[in-house]
């Protein structure tokens, strides 16, 4: 019975020659550019503890991680590099002088819906500037990302810059606590990028804060009807304390013969929830105001000079400090010193990035595919265009190829001795490769084989192997005929594989310390002294 063919896992890719060499060369070119800025290579394990990513990465990534339990330890496949690099810093590098500049490349894993440009295993290439503070570091990181794309030959990309400090400042001034801030930021991307119904997003956020009824709960939803403005519960809570108020409420419910059983919550849990609601202000109006603010932020995105003028008016309307705007302006002014105004740049303060650990400036880089190239060829401007939130590269689609920003709280959250400012970014390597392909770039060709060494008979093998090793020591790429297919078949193989030279080693060549060299392009053949062989092959056909 014939065995069934084993297929690769959906959402993963097999890289076969020459694609593997091309992708590795592209990754090396990006990392080589990072080293021009003083960054040095680092790597982390593919396996990490689940807790590392649950602390700060956010619910969106947490829901798409590959997790499993092994010997009572909950582990996961690395979904992104930043948290791993910060953990490595905390474990090994806290005594190093700041800033610590690290670059990396490696496989990451997320349970995505597979499509072109979006895979379940993909390669991240990026850097982290640990200890880099303020606009100066932000500008360097942003410039190194754009410079790396320029270095590999990508031309038609655009950068979108935001700043979470503006939104966080609004939420703080509205009195929304840290939990509420995290929930709002987690929904910010959905609200501003995916054109979701604002009312539905608001309802979901309030529900997550415990304000709206739990629609999946079959217990009586007594807390939904409480109006704190007229309820005696707040004064009860203040007079007796939480524990005392809970005992009084339970006794009153018992005396009134109100049954609370039958739902998923216990009576004690229901009473605790009632009292918790009674003891806090209803955040509905504040959350609605924050939602409206984020929607308005989205509408003000545009070129820096235009966007900042409009944003100042909006912040003044909400009585917000403009200091975060000055920070973005300073970073972009310094960034201009790197790129001299050659980058297509949009300021969009509704950019959320979807990761919970970002605290300040954030950015994403997009490539718009074939449509973008066609537009540039006919001279149409696309400055100020907004990303549509799509992440799949298609022939005429939009793909995010890079994302990053500032995360000043991450080191401390992962157990660092003190707070350390940090910023960085990562490319999706496969997406950069697809963007280059969409532009018709030649890319990074795999290194060709320079020469095929062919022994005539079995007896010629030791001498032929030694000759191949000598050529490899001279940094020539050498294929050795391990199949002993014979000279004629070997020449046909070299012709099919476009190998420019064939070196033939037989009994006579061994005795005379010579070799026969066949030039496959000119179809010429002659004997060469062993001492002259390397110079001849390096000279090319």
Domain count, the chain: 4
Closest CA to 85 of 126, 142, 43, 52: 43
Calculate mean pLDDT across residues 235-247. Answer: 59
Q: Give pairs for 89-94: CB < 8 Å, separation 24+.
A: 89/128, 89/130, 89/411, 89/416, 89/420, 90/411, 90/414, 90/415, 90/416, 93/130, 94/416, 94/417
pLDDT band at 205 (very low <50, low <70, confident <90, very high): confident
Same domain, 360 and 247: no
Write down the H helix ranges in 89-163: 134-151
Write down the H helix ranges in 318-417: 323-339, 369-377, 410-413
> 180: which 2 tokens?
């509420």
User: pLDDT tens digit string along 276-285?
Assistant: 555 556 778 8
Backbone angles phi, psi at 209, to 5 degrees: -85, 0
Cis ω on the peptide bond leading into residue 300 (within 30° of 0)?
A: no
How many Å from the N-terminal Cα to the C-terminal Cα in the chain?
51
Count of C-beta atoms within a 10 Å radius of residue 126: 30
Query: In which domain, by residue range, is 72 found?
Result: 45-80
Question: At residue 522, does pLDDT exceed 80?
Answer: yes
Among residues 282, 302, 321, the one where a domain terminates is 282
pTM, two decimals, is 0.80
- Residues near 512 by Cβ (< 8 Å), separated by ≥ 6? none
User: pLDDT tens digit string along 11-38?
Assistant: 999 999 999 999 999 999 999 999 999 9
Dihedral of alpha carbons 186, 189, 192, 194, sign: negative
Q: Are 174 and 290 in contact (CB under 8 A)?
A: yes
Q: What CATH number does residue 68 fall under? A: 3.30.240.30
In a domain, 342, yes or no: yes
Among residues 258, 282, 306, the one where a domain terminates is 282
Residue that wins the pLDDT comparison between 320 and 505 = 505
Same domain, 176 and 298: yes
Taking the C-alpha atoms of residue 206 and residue 291, their distance in angstroms, rounded to an integer, is: 11
User: pLDDT tens digit string along 299-312?
Assistant: 899 999 999 999 99
Q: What CATH number does residue 493 fall under? A: 3.40.50.800
Task: Starting at the earlier edge strand, list the strands of the sheet with 73-77.
Answer: 47-49, 73-77, 67-70
Taking the C-alpha atoms of residue 82 and residue 423, their distance in angstroms, rounded to an integer, is: 9
> 532: which 2 tokens?
């002259």
Closest CA to 351 of 402, 312, 393: 402
- What per-residue confidence (pLDDT) applies to 496? 96
Q: What CATH number does residue 138 fall under? A: 3.30.930.10
In a domain, 362, yes or no: yes
* Least reliable range by pLDDT among 255-264, 457-466, 491-500: 255-264
Pairing of β 422-428 and β 399-406: antiparallel
In a domain, 118, yes or no: no
Same domain, 383 and 473: no
Count of C-beta atoms within a 10 Å radius of residue 447: 10
Question: At residue 179, does pLDDT exceed 60?
Answer: yes
User: pLDDT tens digit string along 45-89?
Assistant: 999 999 999 887 666 677 889 999 999 999 999 999 999 999 999
Same domain, 29 and 157: yes
Same domain, 320 and 431: yes
Q: What is the 3-state secondary structure (H, E, C) of 104-123?
A: EEEEEECCCCCECCECCEEE
3-state secondary structure at position 354: coil
Same domain, 273 and 328: no
Same domain, 162 and 296: yes
Distance of alpha carbon 176 from the chain centroid: 29
User: pLDDT tens digit string along 422-470?
Assistant: 999 999 999 999 999 999 887 788 889 999 999 999 999 999 999 999 9
Residue 447 vs residues 21, 24, 402, 475, 499: alpha-carbon distances, Å = 8, 11, 27, 12, 11
Q: Are 327 and 134 in contact (CB under 8 A)?
A: yes
In a domain, 32, yes or no: yes
Taking the C-alpha atoms of residue 283 and residue 459, their distance in angstroms, rounded to an integer, is: 87
Percentage helix, strand, coil, to 5, in the chain? 45, 20, 35
Calculate mean pLDDT across residues 191-208. Answer: 75
Cis ω on the peptide bond leading into residue 540 (within 30° of 0)?
A: no
Q: Which residues pair with 75 in a beta bridge?
A: 49, 68
Same domain, 245 and 332: no
Same domain, 180 and 247: no
Across 102-116, 191-205, 241-255, 316-330, which has the greatest mean pLDDT?
Answer: 102-116
Same domain, 511 and 375: no
């Amino acid at each position: 019975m014939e065995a069934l063919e084993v297929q690769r896992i959906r959402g993963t890719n097999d890289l076969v020659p020459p694609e593997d060499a091309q992708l590795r060369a592209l990754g090396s070119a990006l990392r080589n550019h990072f080293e021009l800025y003083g960054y040095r290579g680092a790597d982390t394990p593919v396996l990490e503890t689940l807790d590392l990513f649950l602390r700060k990465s956010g619910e969106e990534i947490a829901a798409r991680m590959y997790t499993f339990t092994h010997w009572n330890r909950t582990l996961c496949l690395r979904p992104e590099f930043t948290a791993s690099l910060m953990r490595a810093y905390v474990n090994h590098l806290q005594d190093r002088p700041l800033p610590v500049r690290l670059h990396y490349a490696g496989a990451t894993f997320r349970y995505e819906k597979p499509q072109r440009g979006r895979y379940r295993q993909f390669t991240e290439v990026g850097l982290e500037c640990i200890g880099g503070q303020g606009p100066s570091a932000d500008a360097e990181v942003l410039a190194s990302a754009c410079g790396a794309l320029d270095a590999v030959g990508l031309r038609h990309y655009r950068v979108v810059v935001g700043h979470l400090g503006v939104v966080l400042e609004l939420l703080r001034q509205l009195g929304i606590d840290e939990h509420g801030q995290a929930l709002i930021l987690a929904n910010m991307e959905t609200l501003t990028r995916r054109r979701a119904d604002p009312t539905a997003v608001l309802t979901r956020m309030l529900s997550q804060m415990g304000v709206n009824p739990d629609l999946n709960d079959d217990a009586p939803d007594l807390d939904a009807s409480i109006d704190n403005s007229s309820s005696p519960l707040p004064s009860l809570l203040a007079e007796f304390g939480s524990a005392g108020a809970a005992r009084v409420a339970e006794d009153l419910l018992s005396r009134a013969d109100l049954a609370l059983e039958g739902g998923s919550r216990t009576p004690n849990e229901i009473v605790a929830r009632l009292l918790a609601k009674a003891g806090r202000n209803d955040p509905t109006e504040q959350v609605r105001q924050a939602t409206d603010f984020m929607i308005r932020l989205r509408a003000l995105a545009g070129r820096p000079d235009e966007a900042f003028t409009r944003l100042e008016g909006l912040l003044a309307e909400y009585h917000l400090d403009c200091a975060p705007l000055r920070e973005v302006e300073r970073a972009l002014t310094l960034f201009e010193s790197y790129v001299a105004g050659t980058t297509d740049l949009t300021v969009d303060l509704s950019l959320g990035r979807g990761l919970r650990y970002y605290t300040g400036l954030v950015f994403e880089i997009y490539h718009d595919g074939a449509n973008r190239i066609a537009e540039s060829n006919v001279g149409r401007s696309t400055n100020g265009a907004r990303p549509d939130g799509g992440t799949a590269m298609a022939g005429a689609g939009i793909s995010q190829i890079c994302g990053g920003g500032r995360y000043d709280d991450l080191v401390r959250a992962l157990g660092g001795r003190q707070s350390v400012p940090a910023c960085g970014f990562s490319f999706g390597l496969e997406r950069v490769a697809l963007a280059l392909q969409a532009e018709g770039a030649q890319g990074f060709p795999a290194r060709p084989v320079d020469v095929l060494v062919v022994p005539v008979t079995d007896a010629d093998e030791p001498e032929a192997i030694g000759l191949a090793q000598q050529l490899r020591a001279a940094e020539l790429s050498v294929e050795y005929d391990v199949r002993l297919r014979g000279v004629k078949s070997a020449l046909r193989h070299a012709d099919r594989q476009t190998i420019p030279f064939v070196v033939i080693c037989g009994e006579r060549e061994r005795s005379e310390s010579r070799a026969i060299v066949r030039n496959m392009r000119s179809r010429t053949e002659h004997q060469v002294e062993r001492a002259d062989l390397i110079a001849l092959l390096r000279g090319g056909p």
